[in-house]
Amino acid sequence: MANTDTLDTGVVVESRRKTQRRRHIDPTTCERDYSNPEIEFMRAMDDYKRDAGRMFPTCSEVLEVIRSLGYYQLTEEQADTLGFEEDVSEQDESDAESISEESEDFVDA
């Protein structure tokens, strides 16, 4: 009876063992398919949370994780020199359209 304490009332109380919460990415709970960069980011955030012991990292810590993945904000001049264009908004619009179509299919079913 190493982990028990006896109270004056005669009730034996056992100490509860602290359980570690499951803190990993569970793809079965996701409602959509994630792209490879999104999965890479989620895993990096999960690793950071485990290493730092912080469930809710600050914005600065999130930025630290993003930079550790090699992301860097370019100036307009650098982007022009490298030939990057602003395709992000077009990609977001096409994603929004496909999500909208999927939700319409779900409603019709």
Name the burial class of residue 57, with classes exposed (0-12), middle (13-18) and buried (19+) by CB atoms within 10 angstroms of its CB: middle
Q: State pLDDT tens for residues 35-80.
A: 999 999 999 999 999 999 999 999 999 999 999 999 989 999 999 9
In which residue are the tokens 């909208």 written?
A: 100
Angle at 34 between CA 79 and CA 39, to 5 degrees: 75
Task: Give the Å distances, CA to CA, from 78 to 75, 83, 85, 97.
Answer: 5, 8, 11, 31
pLDDT for the residue numbered 48: 96
In which residue are the tokens 């619009």 written?
A: 93
